[in-house]
Amino acid sequence: MNKIPEVSVVITCFNYGRYLEGCLCSVLAQTYEDYEIIVVDDGSTDNTPQIMTRFADVRNLVYIRQDNSGQANSKNKGIKNARGRYVAFLDADDLWEKDKLAKQVRLFENKAVGVVYSRARVIDKNGHSVTFNFSLQYLTPRSGMVSRWLLFDNFIPFSSSIVRKECIERLGAFDETLSMGIDWDLWLRISTQYEFDFVDESLFAYRIGHSDQMSKNAEERRKCSDRIMENFIMNYPDVITDANIRKVYSYTYCNRGSYNRKFDKKKSYRYFFRAILKDPFNIGAYKGIVKNIINYSGS
């Protein structure tokens, strides 16, 4: 491993042993060959170490095992050990298409581009294709300087992302004090100085529906989201206009109003009213209130 590779593939794993072999094989099958693989085992208690013995002879693979320290820490460990000009991230339960790296790396010929990503297809825990709607307004892939759009929602599938390493060196790695949204936080920081680009194809398979995925803790997710947004707005005040910030908050409150409709109707109403206060022209907020009323009347 004396030659420095162009791409460092960082795979983090915590108790994903049953998926890890398929994940690694999807990287080793790449048509683009100038890469290294860094697997960070974040204290797995399953058969992950045994799975890794099957790849002991792979010359361009480094296996790092550490005590459980969380997803941000393990990803940062991978970055610290990465030698390539570009860092490609892959979760151990996902799979790449064989031409993923080849199609994405070429977009870095534009020196202004800091992150390249792609669309995703969705599979279930058994690898079967699942129909999933990515057509929401703010999940539409975008290129160029994307901060104003990215603040609405994270439209970058993590396991599709490749990052110019200098972006991380200049703007910092993953925030280890965040339990959720660490990739969104990083993309927002990078978006202040670099362009983003994407390949309009599904170049990886995103696996959903298995019990080991991160808990859908709504309250913790809300706290992390608020903190990420507030920090970004405070630290980069000249990147987003006040009008856009109001629309972002209105959109966010609408989403929370819709989410809480089934669980807490009073909280749902409060979020929709907050959305209107931020942006009185947000039709979605008024529609949300009407849906609440109709739902209540029909209950």
Q: List, in sequence order, every residue forming a beta bridge with 116; answer none if it has no partner.
A: 162, 197
pLDDT of residue 295: 78
Stretch 195-213: mean pLDDT: 88
Contact 174, 106 (CB under 8 A): no
Q: Taking 60 as the threshold, does the pLDDT of residue 17 lie above it?
A: yes
| Structural domain includes residue 212 | no
Q: Taking 60 as the threshold, does the pLDDT of residue 215 lie above it?
A: no
Domain CATH number, residue 63: 3.90.550.10
| Structural domain includes residue 282 | yes
| Structural domain includes residue 247 | yes
Tell me how many domains the chain contains: 2
pLDDT of residue 217: 83
DSSP assigned state of 4: P
Contact 239, 147 (CB under 8 A): yes
Instruction: Kindly report, residue by residue over 254-285, the tens digit of the pLDDT.
Output: 999 999 999 999 999 999 999 999 999 999 99
Give CA–CA dist 42/71, Å, rounded.
8
Q: Which domain holds residue 259?
A: 241-297
Phi, psi dihedral angles at 41 (to 5 degrees) = -90, 110
Q: For the residues of 257-296, what is the DSSP string, one character each?
A: HHHHTTT-HHHHHHHHHHHHHH-TT-HHHHHHHHHHHHHH
Percentage of residues in the chain having pLDDT higher than 70? 94
pLDDT of residue 209: 81
pLDDT of residue 131: 82
Same domain for 282 and 183? Answer: no
Same domain for 246 and 196? Answer: no
Which residues make Cβ contacts (< 8 Å) with residue 201, sequence separation at least 6?
103, 118, 119
Q: Taking 80 as the threshold, does the pLDDT of residue 211 lie above it?
A: no
DSSP assigned state of 118: E
Same domain for 265 and 146? Answer: no
Give CA–CA dist 179/70, Å, rounded.
8
- Cα-based distances in Å from 254 to 213, 265, 287, 290, 296: 26, 13, 10, 13, 18
Instruction: Write down the pTM of the prediction.
Output: 0.93
Stretch 188-208: mean pLDDT: 97
Same domain for 50 and 173? Answer: yes
Mean pLDDT of the chain: 94
Same domain for 107 and 25? Answer: yes
Instruction: Kindly report, residue by residue over 122-165, the tens digit of the pLDDT.
Output: 999 988 988 876 656 788 999 999 999 999 999 999 999 999 99
Phi, psi dihedral angles at 222 (to 5 degrees) = -65, -45
Q: Which is it for the CA torsion 92, 98, 100, 102, positive or negative?
A: positive
